[in-house]
Amino acid sequence: METNKNNFKPTVLVIFGITGDLSTRYLLPALYHLENYGLLPKNFLVLGVSRKRLNKKEQTRLLTKSIETKVEDVNKDSFKKLCDKFDMLSFDPAHEVDYTHLREYLSKLEEKKSLCFNRLFYLAVPPSIFSSVVDKLGAGNLHKTCEHNMASVRVLIEKPFGFDLESARELISNSRKYFTDEQLYRIDHYLAKETAQNILTLRFSNPLFENVWNNKYISNIQITASESGGVEGREDFYEQTGALRDLVQSHLLQLMSLTTMDRPADQSAHSIQKQRLKILESTIPISRSDIAEQALRAQYDSGSIYGDKVGSYKKDVGRNSTIVETYVALKLNIDLANWRGVPILLRTGKRMMDRYTEIAINFKENAKQKIPGNLLTIRIVPNEGVALKLVVKKPGFSHQTEEVSMDFCYRRSFDDRNPDAYERLILDAIRGDQTLFPTSEEVIASWRVIDSVVKEWSMSDRGLLFYPAGSWGPKSAKQFAEQYCIGWRPYDPAVCKI
């Protein structure tokens, strides 16, 4: 990776929930990689805040454990540099006095260094306390820096941003009490996945695609995020969210926007966000009366994955009465001239047969000549790349044809590793680039699309299906897709398997 001797402002990244799952699985390894690439500001500090008090040795152990589980060959020098930039503060997010301590800590740091730091507050905490933390940051005067507007204060908030349309609106208006939209960085890490970032380049830098990217040539679009993992260690979080809020509201709707948005006027954050928003605002919300037809939910039962027996969701969360969905399939339509009539199918599930995320663009067939439609697959995980199915003549003396795949695979074309989404997001927050972060309008528009489904599903278990862990979801998912198109495109593990 290209490293630049950046001239980023001195920055302190305060991570709330430093000992939690998100920090240890994603944020600390991402910071290690940024350090290793030489991309962190010269004056940089990570301040982990947590109820747990850890001494220096325990802090190093936390970093070691988190980084070693994710990184194969840890560069000792980079690791040490990161440890030197790491500190912790014992902190209870519910206690106002702790925000005063945090402010004092930051002031002391600035006095000691005779520098004014940009302050980034990363809320890696349960969504239920986002609002109260944002409030207390403001009330504790942490929304300002020592230079009063010369340095920046930014707040990074994980998804889900709200629990439904109403709470998202509330959270947005609440956060505006102290922070402007330019200061709020709402995380949707799917937007920062390397292949997702490539969607716009693929579409708009290849005239071949741009001209056929509409309802005249495309018959349907399918976006799948299938996970073999369950809810390990995140039972409480998942019980409050479920697959619809966790994966669909943000990740899948954002992938849909990238896939269908118009060419932005330029590369600025504003122009790109504006086009993403147009799609979300033009997506027809699923009305209450259409839920049965356009939405399907299910929960995993016991089964086996990759040969190992696994228990049911009920057992995993220890609640026999839970009605939380771990699988969702939706059919959406975009009410724009170039997309009218193209069904967009979204689906996600936990404990599925295999792990993959991809976008399948199904082009129209030539029914008269009995020629199948081309399929363009944008594979986001695993084996990132893009594959196009073509019909070719089979070698030999007959006119027999066959479908073959023509592909671009990152691993074949590029030597560098793809940076993890969180590396990109942390770096963008440091440099103040909001392109890969959904705006508050996008958040509202995406909740609007699914709001009646969110409400209906939280009220009763009507229509809740079950599927064995290790399958491709409930049996009726097949008929569900067949109402709208030829059916789900099956997962092809051979794509970009090198």
Summarize as ranges the residues that interact with ligand BG6 (CB under 6 A). 189, 227, 246, 357, 381
The CA-based dihedral angle spanning residues 161, 443, 217, 357, taken in that order and rounded to the nearest 10 degrees: -10
Q: Is 189 a catalytic residue?
A: no
Taking alpha carbons only, the member of 122, 187, 125 closest to residue 443 is: 187
Q: Which is nearer to ligand BG6, 384 or 451 (CB)?
A: 384
Taking alpha carbons only, the member of 493, 470, 426 closest to residue 28 is: 426
Smallest distance from ligand BG6 to CB 214, Å = 29
Smallest distance from ligand BG6 to CB 429, Å = 17
Dist CA 26 CA 49 (whole Å): 16
Smallest distance from ligand BG6 to CB 357, Å = 6
Taking alpha carbons only, the member of 266, 327, 320, 282 closest to residue 457 is: 327
Residues 6+ apart with CB under 8 A from 279: 256, 257, 260, 261, 334, 336
Taking alpha carbons only, the member of 231, 297, 281 closest to residue 473 is: 297
Q: Which is nearer to ligand BG6, 227 or 325 (CB)?
A: 227
Q: Radius of gyration (Cα) for the chain, nearest Å?
A: 24
CB atoms under 10 Å from CB of 97, counted, come to: 9
Residue of 33, 143, 189, 251 marked catalytic = 251
Dist CA 343 CA 100 (whole Å): 52
Dist CA 156 CA 116 (whole Å): 20
Helix axes 130-139 and 96-113, enclosed angle (nearest 10): 60
Smallest distance from ligand BG6 to CB 330, Å = 17
Check if the beta carbon of residue 1 is closer than 8 Å to that of residue 36.
no
Q: Which is nearer to ligand BG6, 110 or 188 (CB)?
A: 188
Smallest distance from ligand BG6 to CB 468, Å = 20
Q: Which is nearer to ligand BG6, 373 or 473 (CB)?
A: 473
Taking alpha carbons only, the member of 354, 345, 327 closest to residue 259 is: 345
| Alpha-carbon 320 to chain mean position | 29
Smallest distance from ligand BG6 to CB 449, Å = 18
Q: Which is nearer to ligand BG6, 189 or 379 (CB)?
A: 189
Q: Which is nearer to ligand BG6, 151 or 436 (CB)?
A: 436
Q: Which is nearer to ligand BG6, 329 or 342 (CB)?
A: 329
Smallest distance from ligand BG6 to CB 447, Å = 16
Which residues are catalytic, by number?
Answer: 251
